[in-house]
């Protein structure tokens, strides 16, 4: 028991050190933005896939925004992937097709496997360009975003690109404000540090792009994955393609406004991420492929982020058991010192990362909400642990994964 506890504490310490390393790199290190200055070029043909399943509240916003971007109109084709919608999504898309003839080619999917990856997989037969950009329907791209996300594909080593997601409904309630803080830490520090350090920036599946030839090489979209973006990141990496992060390619999104929606979202992410962990962790760490050692290590740690939640819970239980059984790890005093040091420094790591990110974004007062993140973290730990238990149960019982679509909260414009 005590050795399991040591192992869990060691893992937590590794992740703590990683938080600090990323934050210090982001604050003091050399910042890589190699493609952001490409503003003049012979821009390639681009296909923009907009994944939409019952998106009547938001689909008009993104299609309207895409029609206003500054990418050459004759080189950009928008394909709304209307995946078995039962609301007015189809009607709204068809109105846009009529208004912007030749610039939007709808794909109304009426049957087939559920899930975004399956829908994108089916949509690929309509894609003719080498560069594919992907947006979820609740995003609102700015005028220059398509060029910014396309620019990295001039680099022949780049297989995938990821932009920054910015919550727009921050002010709604405590949850949206906490998610704003988490997104800030995740993108402004975590993703950018990975880019700086040439590690493994993660493809997010929206505000993102993929090279068609790279996608073909790795076998296309994996429609059995709940998080096709994580799956894509690792398959690109194993085949020698880079995924790059563009911190200044920002795009507004709508974050969940209720806790049940947030919990369902995080459970889907956890299950999908853990699917990828099972599929790729050993191969990434030990297999023969083109990833560098630092990418192998960081990629493996990234795959493990969701499994750390149940492990942390297990660690707490083991620590209590050790206490009540009178065990004194490291002769008591040392353990006390370790606990104090971890409580003072270790637990602070994630908060430090988020605080640094918020300041880098130029914000200040919202830092007052940092203590509330304890609530968010607790919900995350419990939700992820529940997801892991349910995933193991599903695997044992042979049940299929269920796709949970994230509910939208935007008011429909009249």
Partner 1 sequence: MNPAASVFLLMVIALIVFLLPLLPVAVELHGKSDVQPLQVIQQHSGEASYFGDSFRVYIDNIRPVLNDCFAQGTAAKGTLPDGAPCLVLGRGEDAPLIADIQAGGTCDMILASSTDLELPSNTFFPKDIYSNGCVNGGPSNTYRAVLAEHEVRLGAGSRVMRWVQAGTEFTAQSQCQLFSRVSAGRLIRLLEDCRFIRLHAPRIETGSVSPEAADTHVLRRHGNDGVRRLHNADLSIAAGELLRGDLVVRGRLTIGEAARIEGSVKCEKDMVLGPRVEISGTVVTERRLQVGPYCILHGPVIAERGLLIARGTRCGARDMPTTVTAPRIMVETGVVVFGTMWAREQGEVIAAV
Shorter beta-carbon distance to partner 1: residue 69 or 277: 69
Shorter beta-carbon distance to partner 1: residue 34 or 112: 34
Shorter beta-carbon distance to partner 1: residue 184 or 385: 184
Smallest distance from the beta carbon of 118 to partner 1, in angstroms?
A: 27
- Cα–Cα distance between 358 and 340 in angstroms, integer? 27
Shorter beta-carbon distance to partner 1: residue 40 or 110: 40
DSSP E strands in 208-296: the ranges are 208-211, 242-253
- Phi, psi angle pair for 40, to nearest 5°: -130, 130
Smallest distance from the beta carbon of 62 to partner 1, in angstroms?
A: 13
Closest CA to 405 of 80, 163, 206, 136: 136
Shorter beta-carbon distance to partner 1: residue 252 or 352: 252
Token pair 């599946």 is found at 205
List of residues 6+ apart from 273 with CB closer than 8 A: 227, 230, 303, 305, 306
Spatial strand order in the sheet of 107-109 = 107-109, 76-83, 46-52, 131-136, 208-211, 158-167, 242-253
H/E segment holding residue 277: helix 259-286
List residues near partner 1 by CB under 8 A: 32, 34-35, 37-42, 65, 70, 140, 142-145, 147-148, 151, 154-157, 166-171, 174, 177, 180, 184, 198, 213, 240, 250-252, 290, 361, 363-366, 368-369, 371-372
Smallest distance from the beta carbon of 266 to partner 1, in angstroms?
A: 21
Residue 165, beta-bridge partner list? 251
Smallest distance from the beta carbon of 349 to partner 1, in angstroms?
A: 19
Burial of 1 (0-12, 13-18, 19+ CB in 10 A): exposed
Beta pairing, strands 76-83 & 107-109: parallel
Shorter beta-carbon distance to partner 1: residue 36 or 97: 36
Shorter beta-carbon distance to partner 1: residue 331 or 365: 365
Smallest distance from the beta carbon of 10 to partner 1, in angstroms?
A: 31
- Cα–Cα distance between 142 and 64 in angstroms, integer? 11
Smallest distance from the beta carbon of 384 to partner 1, in angstroms?
A: 25
Residue 104, beta-bridge partner list? 78
- Cα–Cα distance between 338 and 347 in angstroms, integer? 12
- Tell me how many helices (H) and strands (E) the chain has: 15, 7
3-state secondary structure 102-113: CCECCEEECCCC
For the chain, give the number of residues: 414
Shorter beta-carbon distance to partner 1: residue 105 or 289: 289
Residue 251, beta-bridge partner list? 165
Smallest distance from the beta carbon of 55 to partner 1, in angstroms?
A: 20
Smallest distance from the beta carbon of 187 to partner 1, in angstroms?
A: 10
Smallest distance from the beta carbon of 229 to partner 1, in angstroms?
A: 21
Smallest distance from the beta carbon of 387 to partner 1, in angstroms?
A: 28
Shorter beta-carbon distance to partner 1: residue 140 or 388: 140
Closest CA to 90 of 137, 45, 130: 137
- Cα–Cα distance between 135 and 81 in angstroms, integer? 10
Smallest distance from the beta carbon of 319 to partner 1, in angstroms?
A: 23
Q: Which string of b and e fits 179-213 if b means at least 16 CB within 10 Å?
A: bbbbbbbbbbbbbbbbbbbebbbbbbbbbbbbbbe
Shorter beta-carbon distance to partner 1: residue 35 or 269: 35
Shorter beta-carbon distance to partner 1: residue 35 or 107: 35
């Amino acid at each position: 028991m005590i050795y399991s506890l040591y192992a869990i504490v060691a893992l937590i310490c590794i992740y703590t050190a990683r938080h600090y390393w990323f934050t210090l790199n982001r604050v003091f290190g050399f910042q890589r933005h190699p493609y952001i200055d490409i503003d003049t070029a012979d821009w390639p043909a681009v296909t923009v896939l907009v994944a939409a399943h019952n998106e009547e509240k938001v689909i008009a916003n993104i299609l309207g925004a895409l029609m206003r971007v500054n990418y050459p109109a004759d080189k950009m084709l928008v394909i709304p992937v209307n995946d078995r919608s039962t609301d007015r999504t189809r009607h709204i898309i068809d109105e846009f097709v009529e208004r912007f003839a030749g610039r939007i080619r709808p794909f109304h999917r009426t049957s087939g496997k559920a899930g975004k990856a399956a829908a994108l997989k089916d949509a690929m037969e309509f894609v003719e360009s080498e560069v594919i950009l992907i947006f979820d329907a609740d995003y609102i791209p700015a005028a220059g975003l398509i060029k910014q996300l396309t620019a990295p594909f001039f680099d022949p080593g780049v297989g995938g690109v990821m932009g920054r997601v910015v919550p727009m409904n921050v002010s709604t309630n405590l949850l949206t404000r906490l998610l704003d803080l988490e997104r800030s830490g995740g993108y402004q520090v975590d993703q950018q540090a990975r880019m700086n350090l040439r590690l493994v920036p993660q493809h997010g599946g929206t505000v993102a792009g993929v090279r068609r030839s790279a996608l073909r090489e790795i076998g296309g979209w994996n429609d059995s994955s709940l998080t096709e973006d994580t799956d894509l990141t690792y398959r690109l990496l194993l085949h020698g393609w880079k995924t790059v992060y563009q911190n200044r390619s920002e795009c507004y999104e709508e974050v969940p406004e209720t806790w049940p929606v947030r919990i369902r979202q995080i459970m889907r992410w956890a299950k999908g991420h853990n699917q990828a962990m099972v599929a790729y962790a050993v191969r990434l760490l030990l297999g023969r492929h083109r990833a560098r050692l630092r990418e192998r290590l960081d990629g493996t740690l990234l795959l493990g982020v969701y499994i750390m939640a149940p492990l942390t819970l297990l660690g707490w239980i083991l620590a209590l058991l050790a206490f009540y059984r009178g065990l004194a790890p490291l002769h008591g005093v040392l353990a006390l010192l370790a606990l104090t040091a971890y409580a003072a420094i270790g637990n602070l790591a994630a908060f430090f990362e988020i605080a640094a990110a918020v300041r880098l974004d130029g914000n200040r007062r919202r830092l007052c909400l940092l203590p509330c993140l304890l609530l968010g973290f607790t919900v995350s730990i419990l939700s992820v642990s529940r997801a892991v238990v349910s995933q193991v149960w599903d695997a044992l019982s042979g049940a299929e994964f269920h796709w949970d679509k994230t509910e939208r909260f935007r008011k429909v414009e009249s």
